Amino acid sequence: MSAVRARRYVYPVDLSDSVGDLSTIVKKLGASKAEAIRGAIKYYAEYLRGLEVITYRKIRIEQAKREIQKYLKNKDRVSADEISDTLRIDMTLVNETLLKLWQEGWVEPE
């Protein structure tokens, strides 16, 4: 019968800039450097699982204006970041568009 071997992954990593931080973590956790690094990877992976990555679309201000107007219909209050996230429009373009809509009397700032 052949034995099943666990796969090991070993990565050479330059930690020159992080030696002090790693030493602090090792002392505070009472763990080895390898355990501290593995723990940091698990922590970061768990943190990223909860994040949603939004890819912004490249659109012109005219299209942004139409989409934002359509999105705002029948809504009492909406924040600029909600518009940006929902429509996947860069926040700078959202703010520029909202300023134009405000100048046209289409929206009111709060």
Instruction: Give the C-alpha separation, 12 to 9, whole Å.
Output: 10
pLDDT score for 108: 84
pLDDT score for 8: 86
Is 87 within 8 Å of 68 (Cβ atoms)? Answer: yes
In a domain, 5, yes or no: no
Do 44 and 65 share a domain, yes or no? no
Instruction: Give the C-alpha separation, 25 to 52, whole Å.
Output: 28
pLDDT score for 51: 87
Give me the residues paired with residue 89 across strands.
Answer: 57
In a domain, 65, yes or no: yes
**Residue 86: which residues within 8 A CB-CB, separation 6 or more?**
71
In a domain, 4, yes or no: no
pLDDT score for 67: 98
In a domain, 2, yes or no: no
Stretch among 28-37, 46-55, 85-94 having the lowest mean pLDDT? 46-55
Do 45 and 66 share a domain, yes or no? no
In a domain, 33, yes or no: yes
**With 70 as the cut, is the pLDDT of residue 1 above it?**
no
Instruction: Give the C-alpha separation, 32 to 22, whole Å.
Output: 10
Cα 29 vs. chain centroid, distance in angstroms?
28
pTM for the predicted model, two decimal places: 0.58
In a domain, 37, yes or no: yes
- Note down the domain range covering 41: 17-49
Instruction: Give the C-alpha separation, 42 to 68, whole Å.
Output: 39
Question: How many folded domains does the chain comprise?
Answer: 2
In a domain, 6, yes or no: no
Q: What is the mean pLDDT of the chain?
A: 92
In a domain, 21, yes or no: yes
Instruction: Give the C-alpha separation, 81 to 94, whole Å.
Output: 8
**With 70 as the cut, is the pLDDT of residue 54 above it?**
yes
